[in-house]
Structures are given as C-alpha cells and as structure tokens.
Amino acid sequence: MKTIGSALDHYQGIGPGFDFLRVTLAVTIIMHHSFLVVDGNTDFIDQHHLWAILGVPVPMFFALSGFLVSGSALRLRLRDFWINRGLRIVPALAVDIFISALLIGPLVTVVPISEYYTDKKFLHYLLNIVGFIHYELPGVFVNNQFPNQVNGSVWTVPLEMGSYTIMSLLIVLGCVRSKTRMVAAVVAFTALYYALMLYFTDHASPIAGDAAWQHYMLNFLGERGNYLFFYFIGGSFTYVFRYQIPFSKWLALAIAAIVVANFGGALPLGMAKPAMMALPIAYLVAFIGLCPIPKLPVYSRGDYSYGIYLYAYPLQQLLVMVFPGIAVLVHFVLSIVAVTCVAMCSWHIVEKPILSARRKFSYTAHKGDNDKLELVNIPPSQ
C-alpha cells in the first residue's frame, strides 16, 4: 500500500506540491484581504458563501507547518530547532516591521513627523517583532475603508510562536519519535483545551485584565486563534503516522467533501470543529503537497511565501490609499504583482542570506537552500 511516508520518501522529503499549495493559499488570503480593505468588510464573501476564502487557508497553513516542521524536529536538538526557527522567522519579520514603521508610515501619516515618532503607537508597533501584536501606527491609513490597521496579518505571529513551543514539548517528550506518545499528547491537549474552554465559559480568564503581561499572554492564548494549534498538531500527527496513512486520491476526495460540508456550514460542529477537522485538513495538505504538481513560473525561484505574508497587507492598504475607489478585482491583481516583487526582494536580499547561517544547525540545510522541510512558515490571514 502506498502511504504518505512512502510518497514522501519517493520525493526525498520534498513534496513537489508544497510550493503550489503555499502560493495558492497565499493568493487566496490576498483575495480575502482585497475585499476587506477595499470594501471595509467581507459582506460580499459572506453573502456569496465564499467560505473557502475565509475559513480554510489559515488552518491549512498551520497544518502544513506542523507536518513539515516535524521533519526538522526529528533531526534537531531542541536548541538547534529554536535557532533554525528564529533565524527563519525573526530577521525578515523585523525588516518588515521597520519598513512599515520607518518608511511607509512617515510617507503616508497624517500627523506631523515630530508627533509620529514620539507617539506611543510607534514604539508599540515595533513590539510586533517579539510577538506583542499592535496594528496601528500614528496617523497611518486612518482614512482607508478598513482604517488604522497597518498589517492585520501579524495576528498569527504569536500563534506561530506558540506552535513552536508545542513542538518543543513534543520534542522533549519524545512524541515525534513515538506513535504512542504522540497519541497520548493529542489526547492530553484536546482534553486540556476543552476543559479550559468550558471553564472560562462560566469563569473569568486569569489572563483577562489591564496588566502588560496579561495583554502579552492574550496574544498567545486569546480565543481568537488558539484553535489553530489543533491544525498544527494535526499536521505533526500526520507526519508521525505517515507510514500508516494511505496515499489515496479517493480518500482525499472523500475528506475534501467532508471539509467542504463542514466549512460550508452543512456540518455545524461548533466548538468541536478544530478537533474534528484537524486531521482531515492535515491529510489534504500532505496529499496535495505530495502530488506531482509542476512548479509555478516565477514562484519556483525561491520560497516567497513568507515575504508574501509579511508585506501583502500593508501594500494592499497602500494601494487603497493611493487609488481610492479602486475595484476589488483590480486591487487584487495589483496586489499580487506588487507583493510578489517585494517578496522576491525579501527572499534574495534578507531571507536567503540569513539561511546560510543555519547550515551548522541542520544536516538537511546542506542539501540546498530549497529544502522545504526547513523553510516552512505560516502566512496567515486577517
């Protein structure tokens, strides 16, 4: 029987469809944001039942990350795992934050420059680099249809950090090497998650308050996105059991039908949705990633997905400001062109050179800069 594991081995650990999947999901998210920043809402998406644009891409990105990062976790010590993740995520994120704060902001702000640099919003925005999320810069995009948010995509940065913390626990506990321990970890996480959810339904959360540490913890544990941890763990679970899970197009089609029914509203799972959908989503991610999909022109020259995630939202807001009244479709096309160019610069000028420093920490990095088990990241959605 052909399995996910045997298909992965056939491609030497680098599935040909993962690039396609990353780019497709990123484009879907950009389309979602085009409706959001041009119209100021997502009513069109809601009214026309375009559920895939809203509900699927981010869970799939987290499942993709869980699947691919688990490959790294098998080969790396905990310290080296964090060095790899840090070098992949933080430098490019820092450059993006500084460009927004020091270049875009001063050019478009409606407040005097002296006030811009002394406003607390300016300093707070820089904290995005360490996962303390702030969306506003003083006087920036205040007159847009979806005002004030400079980069709404960064809400998943702390969730990404939280996912790597979970992976650290899986490494320490030996779960990535033991199927029994992985099952136990999934059961324990599910029980803890729902116990806390039920408890906080009737009680105040201990992290709800005005203290700085409470605001910081809400970035990681707030209700808005902690369900995404299920999809990350689902991806990791799928990787650990890769040699037991069949690689079947019929199974993929059946699972796709279930996912469509769920995210389309036909299966009202409520609070159970993350737990019920984590493995189906992870299977689709692994299956598509291991399909022989040809490389996409332009996007095959580097791993541009992280740059697309970082720069798409501020560029889309900038387009709305420069071209008021722009049509959604025109905005979407211009967004794709603009962000692809910027993402290419980010990859070749910032990300790729930084990655050379990781070669001492991962044997897979010696295979080349295109090792997708080491280049995974999560371009999220607002």
Find the helix or strand (DSSP H, E) in which 326 lies.
none
Looking at per-residue confidence, does 94 or 202 come out higher?
Answer: 94
Which amino acid is present at 192?
A: L
Q: Has this prediction a pTM greater than 0.85?
A: yes
Percent of the chain with pLDDT over 90: 60
Residue 381 has pLDDT above 50, yes or no: no
pLDDT of residue 379: 44
Mean pLDDT throughout 121-139? 93
Which pLDDT tens digit goes with each residue over 83-112? Answer: 888 888 999 999 999 999 999 999 999 999
Q: For 39-48, 168-177, 215-224, 370-379, which range has the lowest pLDDT when averaged over its residues?
A: 370-379
**Mean model confidence pLDDT for the chain:** 86
Query: With contact defined as beta carbons under 8 Å apart, do 7 and 360 qualify?
Result: no
pLDDT of residue 267: 58
Query: With contact defined as beta carbons under 8 Å apart, do 342 and 299 qualify?
Result: no
Band of residue 222 on the pLDDT scale cut at 50, 70, 90:
low
DSSP 162: H
Every domain of the chain and the residues it spans: 4-154+229-367
Residue 227 has pLDDT above 80, yes or no: yes
Looking at per-residue confidence, does 182 or 357 come out higher?
Answer: 182
Enumerate residues 6+ apart whose C-beta is below 8 A from 111: 119, 138, 139
Band of residue 374 on the pLDDT scale cut at 50, 70, 90:
very low
Half-sphere exposure of 181 (CA within 13 A, CB side): 10
Mean pLDDT throughout 338-350? 96
Residue 118 has pLDDT above 60, yes or no: yes
Give DSSP secondary structure letters for 2-53: -BHHHHHHHTTT--THHHHHHHHHHHHHHHHHHHHHHHSS-HHHHHTT-HHH
Percent of the chain with pLDDT over 70: 83
